[in-house]
Amino acid sequence: MIKNVLPAQPKNAAEKRKIIKMDIKSIEKIVSLSKRRGFIFQSSEIYGGLGSTWDYGPLGVEMKNNIKNLWWHDMVTSRQNIVGMDASILMHPEVWEASGHVKNFHDPMVDCKNCKARYRADHLSFKKTCNKCHKSISVSFPTEVVNDLIKIHGKVGSNELSKLSKGIKVEPCPFCKHILSTIELKCPSCGSYELTEPRQFNLMFKTSLGALADSGDVTYLRPETAQGIFVNFSNVVTTARQKLPFGIAQLGKAFRNEITTGNFLFRTREFEQMEMEFFIHPEEADKWLDYWSQERLDWFKSLGVREDKLRLRPHDSDELAHYSTACYDVEYEFPFGWSELEGIADRGTYDLDQHNEHAKKKQTYFDQPNNKHIVPAVIEASAGVDRAFLTCLVDAYREEKVNGEERIVLKLSPKVAPITVAVFPLVNKNGLPEISEKIFNELQSEFSAFFDQGGSIGRRYRRQDEAGTPFGITVDHQTLDDNTVTLRDRDSMEQIRIPTDQAVSKIKKKLSN
């Protein structure tokens, strides 16, 4: 039985966008803190930046590594029946023919001829105006309607989309109850009516191998890490001597030429995935889909993310990817609405079947009890590192007023925080920096530690609060007398006095709580 599961709900794109606009500010605050403290910088900033690409700074890379290490530990190191691997980003182009990505991995796209903005047709919403009270509401064209039209006509023009509005449930005006009748098909960005017909847009980045860029050398940057696992299935079975059910896990970069990017790290064209393919007897798919959905929801909780902001959402049949027969999303309630962090999908035998059809070498599994070769089915758990990172940042961000003073604090779980403990000499004289450095050296061999002697002590605390550092050790004049220091707790801001030689054990104890 899976906990925290919502029934499948129809997506209301118009409503989602309303939320996005409403809370754009909170994401801007996170972007600004990320830059100020060295979590994330805009890529190629000194050249004006490159849209939707981000660089992880000194604190960002530590936190990202913590998240990846926690995933690897949870999925690989702590389990007997999951092994890891690391495939190359460039793969044989036929892999993507076999996987269905060349044929199926695309979105319908609409361009504005006037301002060149580009939208996913199924994300666009249009204004309907009531011709009685003249108030407007937004309606959106659901994915399945746009896809159906593309299937029938090959392409859909603005006129067809207008006609399509007839296919949309026409509801009475929420203000005066009169039936809505007019539809405006405008570019949401510049207001122009000059929209192109929706065209199918493949999301894979093409590249060419070797010096001569002719078509024979074309391949793709991988749009998912999963295929690197599927094409190595036999290699792993033979070498790791695993028996069903067992998993293969992989962490690495993936690339998608997304039509619309945005919401900071949420949707970018280059991102990192943490994927695990769990190979099973096909008749056990339901059991393992439930198991992994719950496990993956629990993993996000274990990162310290607030439980009421996390949920599992089963996919509607029209949302399923081309390979999948059932899927749950782990979702987080971002300021821009509930959004996917990870997909847990029943991929059936699709991928191995496809490679068996296309590749020269067949991949099967010898089922000893039944004495026959079978193609195992797969449950996939596919998460984005950058989305997990953004979730931790957003979830931890607080603006507080304490004793009349305002502070921004990241209440990150100590497991995730880039720095575990900061050491501060109260003043830069009387031998305090030297004692502090000694304490810092001891702490550094156990934890990720930071030594900060610049500026007033209050300002140094604020800096570490913004960096999400859970503990602070302050060396003051009393340290000279009785060899004690203060241990400050980031969240309660309480300071207790402890003997210097107990600093390591006290922090370890707090970490294990």
Helices and strands in the chain: count of H runs, count of E runs = 16, 26
Q: Residue 342 or 395: which CB sits closer to ligand ATP?
A: 342
Assess 389 for contact with ligand ATP (CB under 6 A).
no
Assess 387 for contact with ligand ATP (CB under 6 A).
yes
Assess 297 for contact with ligand ATP (CB under 6 A).
no
Question: What's the CA gap between 225 and 255, in Å, rounded?
Answer: 10
Of these, 256, 355, 460, 488, which contacts ligand ATP (CB under 6 A)? Answer: 256
Question: What's the CA gap between 350 and 355, in Å, rounded?
Answer: 9
Assess 237 for contact with ligand ATP (CB under 6 A).
no
Question: What's the CA gap between 63 and 72, in Å, rounded?
Answer: 14
Question: What's the CA gap between 306 and 511, in Å, rounded?
Answer: 18
Q: Residue 277 or 476: which CB sits closer to ligand ATP?
A: 277
Give, as one character, the DSSP assignment of residue 483.
Answer: S
Structure tokens at 14: 């118009």
Residues ≥6 apart with Cβ < 8 Å to 358: 94, 97, 98
Assess 107 for contact with ligand ATP (CB under 6 A).
no
Helices (H), 197-240: 226-230, 233-240
Span from 129-137, 166-174, 182-190, 334-342 in contact with ligand ATP (CB under 6 A) = 334-342
Where in 206-225 is the site for ligand ATP (CB under 6 A)?
Answer: 224
Helices (H), 108-232: 143-153, 158-164, 226-230
Of these, 66, 225, 227, 273, which contacts ligand ATP (CB under 6 A)? Answer: 273
Can you tell me which residue has the tokens 């204004």? 127
Residues ≥6 apart with Cβ < 8 Å to 210: 217
Q: Residue 257 or 453: which CB sits closer to ligand ATP?
A: 257
Of these, 122, 277, 342, 452, which contacts ligand ATP (CB under 6 A)? Answer: 342
For 267-307, give the secondary structure using H, E and C.
Answer: ECCEEEEEEEEEEECHHHHHHHHHHHHHHHHHHHHHCCCCH
Q: Residue 250 or 382: which CB sits closer to ligand ATP?
A: 382
Q: Residue 341 or 375: which CB sits closer to ligand ATP?
A: 341
Of these, 23, 258, 284, 446, which contacts ligand ATP (CB under 6 A)? Answer: 258
Span from 65-73, 154-162, 266-274, 295-303 in contact with ligand ATP (CB under 6 A) = 266-274
Paired sense of beta strands 326-334 and 337-348, if any: antiparallel
Beta bridge partners of 120: 109
CB of 41 to ligand ATP, least distance (A): 17
Structure tokens at 437: 């450095």
Of these, 247, 252, 376, 384, which contacts ligand ATP (CB under 6 A)? Answer: 384
Span from 70-78, 166-174, 263-271, 432-440 in contact with ligand ATP (CB under 6 A) = 263-271
Span from 87-95, 295-303, 339-347, 368-376 in contact with ligand ATP (CB under 6 A) = 339-347
Residues ≥6 apart with Cβ < 8 Å to 146: 108, 121, 122, 156, 198
**Spatial contact of 165 and 184, defined as CB atoms under 8 Å apart:** no
Q: Residue 313 or 488: which CB sits closer to ligand ATP?
A: 313
Assess 418 for contact with ligand ATP (CB under 6 A).
no
Assess 267 for contact with ligand ATP (CB under 6 A).
yes
Query: Closest CB to ligand ATP belongs to which residue?
Result: 384
Residue type, 95: V
CB of 58 to ligand ATP, least distance (A): 22
Residue type, 382: S
Of these, 63, 341, 344, 419, which contacts ligand ATP (CB under 6 A)? Answer: 341
Tallying the residues shown for the chain, one arrives at: 513
CB of 314 to ligand ATP, least distance (A): 14
> What Cα–Cα distance (Å) separates residue 433 from each residue in 67, 180, 329, 495?
33, 72, 50, 20
Going 297 to 299 to 303 to 307, the CA torsion angle's sign is: positive
Of these, 141, 271, 292, 365, which contacts ligand ATP (CB under 6 A)? Answer: 271
CB of 231 to ligand ATP, least distance (A): 18
Assess 268 for contact with ligand ATP (CB under 6 A).
yes
Assess 278 for contact with ligand ATP (CB under 6 A).
no
Task: Give contact residues for ligand ATP (rule: CB under 6 A).
Answer: 224, 256, 258, 267-268, 271, 273, 340-343, 382-384, 386-387
